[in-house]
C-alpha cells in the first residue's frame, strides 16, 4: 500500500529589483482561504526589505522616467498580454483565496487585463491633455508640463485583491514613477502571482517592487522614509490613514487616499485618468519667441 505524499506548500517570496529575494528577517506567514484552509506561505516583509525596495525603485526611476511615453505604453501592454496568458492561474488563485465563484474570479481577472490596456493607452496622451501653454506678458512661450514625482508607495486594499492592485499601480507608473507596493494582508497570493507575471514581462527591474506582510508594522516606515515622494493609500483603514498622514509630514511627501468600496473597483470610477495627476509634479518652462 502506497504512503500518501505530504503536500509541499509553495512559499511566495518578495519582488524587489526584478528579483525574488526571501525576507531578510527570515519570517513567513501562512495564507489562508476564507474558510480557514492553509493554502500556501508568503514572506513577512521587514523594515529592511522595505528600504531595499525603495533603493531598487530609486535606482530604476532615472531610466524609467527617461523612457519614451510610447515605450512605457508598449511595456504596460505587454504586461497585460502576459496577464492574459496566465489568466487561468490567477482565476484559480483568486477563487481559492477569496472564496469567489469562478465567474466572479474570471470577471476580476478580465477587468484587470482591460485596466492595464486602458492605462497603457494614456502613457502618450496624458501629457498632451494635462499640459498647457500659458499666456504671459512678455515675448515668451510659457509651457507647463507634468513630470513624474519619483518613488511612490502604493497600499492595496484586501478586496478585490488583484483588480484594485492593478488599478492603483498602473496610473502611478505610466507617467514614469516607480512603485513600492504593499499587497493585501488578507489575500496576498493573487498579488504575489501578479509579481511573477511582471517579472516575465518587459517591465525593467525596480519599476514595481512588491512586499507582503503586515501593513501596520510597515506603515510608520513607509510614512517617514525620506526617499519616498508620495503615498497612494487604497486600504480605506482609518487607523492606517492616520499613521501614514502623520508620518508624511516629516518630509512633506504627497498623500492620496482611494476610499473605494469593493464594488467600486469594478466600475469606471477605478480607471479615472485624473488619478495620474496625483503622482506627478508640474514643471513650467519659458522660451523666447524669437523674432
Q: For residues 21 and 8, give the distance between their C-alpha atoms in angstroms, rounded to a whole number.
A: 20
Residue for grid cell 480557514? 36
Q: Domain count of the chain?
A: 1
- Counting Cα atoms < 13 Å in the Cβ hemisphere of 127 gives 16
Range of the domain at 37: 20-288
Q: Is 46 a domain residue?
A: yes
Which has the closest alpha carbon to 260: 171, 178, 156? Answer: 156
For residue 70, give the CATH number of its domain: 3.40.605.10
The percent of residues in the chain predicted with pLDDT above 90, rounded, is 82
Structure confidence by residue, pLDDT tens digits, 151-200? 999 999 999 999 999 999 999 999 999 999 999 999 999 999 999 999 99
Q: Is 185 a domain residue?
A: yes
Cell numbers found for residue 82: 502576459
Helix 163-173 to helix 69-85 angle (10° resolution) is 160
The percent of residues in the chain predicted with pLDDT above 70, rounded, is 98
Q: Is 27 a domain residue?
A: yes
Q: Is 14 a domain residue?
A: no
Which has the closest alpha carbon to 178: 17, 60, 72? Answer: 60
Q: Is 4 a domain residue?
A: no
pLDDT tier at 1 (50, 70, 90 boundaries)? low
Q: Is 8 a domain residue?
A: no
User: Are 15 and 210 in contact, with CB atoms under 8 Å apart?
Assistant: yes
Amino acid at each position: 500500500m502506497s504512503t500518501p505524499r505530504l503536500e509541499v506548500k509553495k512559499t511566495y517570496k518578495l519582488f524587489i529589483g526584478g528579483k525574488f529575494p526571501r525576507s531578510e528577517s527570515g519570517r513567513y506567514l501562512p495564507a489562508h482561504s476564507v474558510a480557514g484552509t492553509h493554502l500556501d506561505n508568503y514572506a513577512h516583509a521587514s523594515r529592511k526589505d522595505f528600504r531595499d525596495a525603495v533603493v531598487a525603485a530609486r535606482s530604476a526611476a532615472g531610466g524609467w522616467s527617461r523612457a519614451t511615453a510610447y515605450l512605457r505604453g508598449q511595456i504596460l501592454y505587454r504586461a497585460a498580454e502576459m496577464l492574459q496568458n496566465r489568466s487561468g492561474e490567477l482565476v484559480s488563485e483568486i477563487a481559492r483565496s477569496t472564496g469567489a465563484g469562478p465567474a466572479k474570479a474570471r470577471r476580476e481577472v478580465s477587468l484587470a487585463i482591460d485596466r492595464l490596456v486602458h492605462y497603457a493607452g494614456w502613457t502618450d496622451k496624458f501629457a498632451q491633455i494635462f499640459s498647457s501653454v500659458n499666456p504671459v506678458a512678455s515675448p515668451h512661450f510659457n509651457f507647463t508640463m507634468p513630470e513624474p514625482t519619483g518613488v511612490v508607495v502604493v497600499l492595496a486594499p484586501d478586496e478585490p485583491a488583484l483588480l484594485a492592485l492593478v488599478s492603483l499601480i498602473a496610473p502611478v507608473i505610466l507617467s514614469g514613477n516607480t512603485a513600492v507596493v504593499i499587497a493585501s494582508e488578507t489575500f496576498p497570493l493573487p498579488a504575489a502571482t501578479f509579481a511573477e507575471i511582471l517579472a516575465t514581462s518587459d517591465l525593467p527591474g525596480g519599476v514595481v517592487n512588491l512586499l507582503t506582510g503586515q501593513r501596520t508594522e510597515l506603515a510608520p516606515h513607509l510614512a517617514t522614509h525620506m526617499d519616498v515622494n508620495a503615498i497612494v493609500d487604497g486600504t480605506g483603514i482609518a487607523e492606517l490613514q492616520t499613521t501614514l498622514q502623520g508620518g508624511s509630514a516629516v518630509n512633506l511627501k504627497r498623500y492620496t487616499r482611494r476610499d473605494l468600496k469593493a464594488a467600486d473597483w469594478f466600475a469606471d470610477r477605478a480607471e479615472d485618468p485624473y488619478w495620474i495627476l496625483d503622482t506627478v509634479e508640474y514643471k513650467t518652462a519659458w522660451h523666447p519667441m524669437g523674432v
